[in-house]
Amino acid sequence: MVEVYQQVLYIKLDQVALDFSIQEKELSKKREMAEENKVTLHGLWLSSYVKRVELALKIKGIPYEYVEEDMKNKSPQLLKYNPVHKMVPILVHNGKPIVESSVILEYIDETWKNGPPLLPRDPYERAQVRFWASFVQKQLFETMISVLKSEGEAQQKVIKELLDKLKVLEEEIKKIFPEGIPTSMNHETVGLLDIMVVTCFGPHEVQEEVLGFKFIDTEKTPLLFSWLKALNEIPVVKEATYPREKLVEALKYIRQVSLNK
């Protein structure tokens, strides 16, 4: 009888040992996969380009490690991962770097298919999103930066350009939201264009304070104003809002440096 019990015990012990060994192997595999699937974002707190990638990662629910870079003292890693432009953001996935925010956003959407999609499915709608995302970035945001960096007659010229182009976007928003802007939005319905718009102009009130005039308001651009308001309320966006005073200081500094040149 004792022998039988012994046998059973040995079998059970073997089973435990086997289970343990399987568990060890699985854990080791998971550790390997975690290293392989590790996502690191190299960024700069001030950069709206970096914010775009952060928002995309958060919306998709992708865990990542963040590394703040110092542009005045570029790290060897930064130079290794982005030798061409030496800029952030840089997304490192499976040890491979991806650079340029618009390229990173498309990569994120194509690689992690489980979270909310950043781009629509239909090719024509995708083309529209890509076009308007580029418009917001190049025609609007970069023009606003030109306004920040100039004065006098040159500034007047780019201010007019900015206002004219904001009108163009305002017209397009009527087509994007034919039933009007929803009063509240959530991160699951937010896509690439929303991310672009909110990272470029979410802090427009701070930008307007530094520039000394309003360019997005309920009179001139009511739809854009409402869209930004709804986007800024989304928890994942709210959490990533710039500390106001820090942003004012940074924008004033950029203006000063530029005008001194």
Partner 1 sequence: MAEELSLLGMWASPFSCRVKIALKLKVVQYKYVEEDLFNKSPLLLKYNPIDKKVPVLVHNGNPLLESLVILEYIDETWQGYPIFPKDPYERAVARFWAKFIDDKLLPAIRRACWGEEKGREKAVEEATELLQLLEMELKEKRFFGGETIGLVDIVADTLSLWLTSFEEGSGVELMTREKFPKLSKWSHEFASTSAVKENLPPKDELTVFLKSLFGKPAK
CB closer to partner 1 out of 85 and 213: 85
Closest distance between partner 1 and the C-beta of residue 146, in Å? 16
CB closer to partner 1 out of 50 and 99: 99
Between CA 28 and CA 83 the distance in angstroms is: 34
CB closer to partner 1 out of 115 and 205: 115
Half-sphere exposure of 81 (CA within 13 A, CB side): 24
CB closer to partner 1 out of 22 and 103: 103
Closest distance between partner 1 and the C-beta of residue 205, in Å? 27
Q: Are strands 65-68 and 39-43 parallel, antiparallel or unpaired?
A: parallel
Between CA 39 and CA 93 the distance in angstroms is: 5
Closest distance between partner 1 and the C-beta of residue 53, in Å? 12
CB closer to partner 1 out of 37 and 232: 37
CB closer to partner 1 out of 74 and 130: 130
The torsion of the CA quartet 103, 177, 170, 119, rounded to 10 degrees, works out to: 0
| Residue 158 CB contacts under 8 Å (≥ 6 apart), including other chains | 143, 146, 147, 150
Q: Are strands 90-93 and 96-99 parallel, antiparallel or unpaired?
A: antiparallel
The torsion of the CA quartet 182, 183, 189, 192, rounded to 10 degrees, works out to: 80
Residue type at 81 in one-letter notation: Y
Q: Residue 67: helix, strand or coil by DSSP?
A: strand
Closest distance between partner 1 and the C-beta of residue 72, in Å? 22
Closest distance between partner 1 and the C-beta of residue 125, in Å? 10
In terms of Cα–Cα distance, which of 158, 145, 136 is closest to 257?
Answer: 145
Closest distance between partner 1 and the C-beta of residue 32, in Å? 19
Task: Check if the beta carbon of residue 205 is closer than 8 Å to that of residue 229.
Answer: no
CB closer to partner 1 out of 16 and 33: 33
In the complex, the residues that contact partner 1 under the rule CB under 8 A are: 84, 93-94, 96, 98-100, 102-104, 106-107, 110-111, 123-124, 126-127, 130-131, 134-135, 168
Closest distance between partner 1 and the C-beta of residue 181, in Å? 22
